Amino acid sequence: MRVFFIGVCGTAMGNVAILLKKQGHQVAGSDAGVYPPMSQVLEEAGIKLFEGFSEKELIEWNPERVVVGNAVSRGNVQVEFVLRTGSIPFVSLPQLIGEDLIKDRPSLVVAGTHGKTTTTSLASFALRQLGEDPGFLVGGVPLDLPSGNELGSAESPFVIEGDEYDSAFFDKRSKFIHYRPRVLILNNLEFDHGDIFRDLQDISRSFAHLLKIVPENGFILRNGDDPNLLSLPIAPWCKTFSVGMGEENDLRIVQFSEDREGVRFDLYWRDLFITKVSWQMAGEFNARNLAMSCLGTILAQSASHGKEIDASNPFAGRTIPNYSECKGVKRRQELLIDRGEVVVISDFAHHPTAIEGTLRSMRSRWPEHKIIACFEPRSNTAVTNVFQDRFADSLAVADLVLLGAVHRGDKIPPAERINTEAMVLRIKAAGKEAFAFRENQKLADLLESKAFDQKPVLLVFFSNGSFDGIIDRVSNFMANE
């Protein structure tokens, strides 16, 4: 089949285009910005790329199916042609994933406000370690896998992030509704994506819809320490297990400790010891990601082989994955420089809860270091004032907070835009230093001029984007000091 992707250079679109090419389809795509590294990756995979959205190029390539990206909207020339002529079937990317990649394979879907990418990567790694050949789509750069996208074997599970964002301009359902979960992981649930959800109740409704499509032979794993998840409707048609630190959980994280040497904890199935974990990935949040992936892979592997699960102890007689050498995903607490007295970290966190959890983990690991937190308001929610006070309170765990320029701030009405100057006042009221910048390069100037005078120091950049290149700039400066 000849498949054409409109908006192909997005990470998810590009990865799926590559997987379709691996399936033997002829694949092409268009985008407004065809540039490295994604353009190189696509071209190396044999995918034809078109710069811009020309109607003529779409017609001449003559696709049998069109995939419309989430970032594409009405007014796009190619979209208008497809709608006007009705001559080419079109689908959203999530629908294509469900129909063409997952199909009837046991799907392990990782959903939640935080930790989707890391848990997806850990689960894919664990399945490979257990001798499976899983398919997977990881929305980042995994450090423990050969790539972020693999077809795997049709007999093995397919692991995917269950994103709650909408599917396309013509399909406002959350993406995860298309992913046919046999094993569903619910990491956590908070309000996010204020551009498409009204409030927590609105986003919870979407998660409740997801629960309804888990089959009777499926499993739901939920964070038993999260009150928002516990308030979701029960799913009596399938088995639900809880994972967390509380004693009421089925799979429990026990005796957690963290210091400069790393993280250590035990996993218990109720009162039965399962395994001891010692690894370098930071924080309680990653311990829970590991626990979720560990149980999820056991269940998904059993489903792929048609084996019954002993609900009283799913781990009985099973090999437990070894996560000791796992590094996780690039830009998730990624250690850029570690010179003892000078540590530089890049982190993708763009939600207050994730930022606070990461900073508290750093406090445990580097208790003697002065922590400098640099935050770029960049995501569709972070650039608004929805989480303004919560961002300030989370960042105040650090000793010094440097707030970068608001991404596309001129596009946001002042009454709705995050006010970084007001955040500075709130952080100072908490007894910490803080400064706001209208230009990110000015923030870098300050770091290079005086930030490292007081040592030991830990510098962490929080951004789900490039931070206008200052992460690399300051890292290179420190590497040459």
Q: Say if 316 falls within a structural domain.
A: no
Q: How many domains does the chain have?
A: 3
Residue 325 lies in a domain: no
| Residue-averaged pLDDT of the chain | 93
Residue 396 in contact with residue 407, Cβ under 8 Å? no
Give me the DSSP letters along 97-152: IIIIIITTSPEEEEESSS-HHHHHHHHHHHHHHTT---EEE-SS-BSSSS-SEE--
CA distances from 395 to 67, 128, 186, 392 (A): 40, 37, 26, 5
Question: Cα(253)–Cα(221) distance, rounded to whole angstroms?
Answer: 14
Instruction: Say if 408 falls within a structural domain.
Output: yes
DSSP for residue 384: B
Task: Look at residue 73 and give its three-state secondary structure.
Answer: coil
CA torsion angle 92 43 33 93 (round to 10): 10
Let me know whether 288 and 241 are in one domain. Answer: yes
Q: Which residue from 331, 283, 362 is spatially nearest to 143, judged by alpha carbons?
A: 331
pLDDT above 90 for 141: no
In this prediction, residue 359 carries a pLDDT of 96
User: 342 and 399: one domain?
Assistant: yes
Residue 324 lies in a domain: no
Q: Is the pLDDT of residue 438 over 80?
A: yes
Tell me whether residue 180 is in a domain.
yes
- Find out whether 5 and 27 touch, Cβ atoms under 8 Å: yes
For residues 99-124, average pLDDT: 95
d(CA 25, CA 48): 12
Residues 354, 232 within the same domain: no
Whether 279 and 395 share a structural domain: no
What was the pLDDT predicted at 34?
Answer: 74
CATH classification of the domain holding 71: 3.40.50.720
Q: How far apart are CA 370 and CA 375, in angstroms?
A: 16
Query: Taking residues 84-109, what's their average pLDDT?
Result: 96
- What is the CATH number for 344? 3.90.190.20
Q: Mark which of 62, 88, 114 sits at the end of a domain.
A: 88
| Model pLDDT for residues 16-56, shown as the tens digit of each residue | 999 999 999 999 999 997 776 778 889 999 999 999 999 99
- Considering the domain boundaries, does residue 118 fall inside one? yes
Question: CA–CA separation, 186 vs 111, rounded Å?
Answer: 5
Q: 88, 109, 141: which is the final residue of a domain? A: 88
φ, ψ (nearest 5 deg) of residue 67:
-110, 125
Residues 300, 106: contact at Cβ < 8 Å? yes
Mark whether 23 and 113 lie in a shared domain.
no
Q: Which residue has tokens 């592997």?
A: 301
- On whether both 223 and 189 belong to a single domain, the answer is yes
176 and 55 in a common domain:
no
> 72 with 175, same domain?
no
Q: Give pLDDT tens digits for 385-411.
A: 999 999 999 999 999 999 999 998 889
CA 456 – CA 370 distance, rounded (Å)? 6
- Whether 329 maps to a domain, the answer reads no
**Structural domain range at position 6:** 2-88
pLDDT digits (tens, 9 = 90+) for 208-220: 999 999 999 999 9
Does position 451 have pLDDT exceeding 70, yes or no? no
159 and 182 together in one domain: yes
Residues 114, 76 share a domain: no
Distance between CA 444 and CA 442 in Å, rounded?
A: 5
Query: Is 46 a member of any domain?
Result: yes
Domain harbouring 135, CATH code: 3.40.1190.10
25 and 50 fall within a common domain: yes
CB 253 within 8 A of CB 288: yes
Domain final residue pick, 68, 88, 108: 88
Higher-scoring residue by pLDDT: 11, 82:
82
Pair (128, 75) in one structural domain: no
Question: Percent of the chain scored above 90 by pLDDT?
Answer: 83
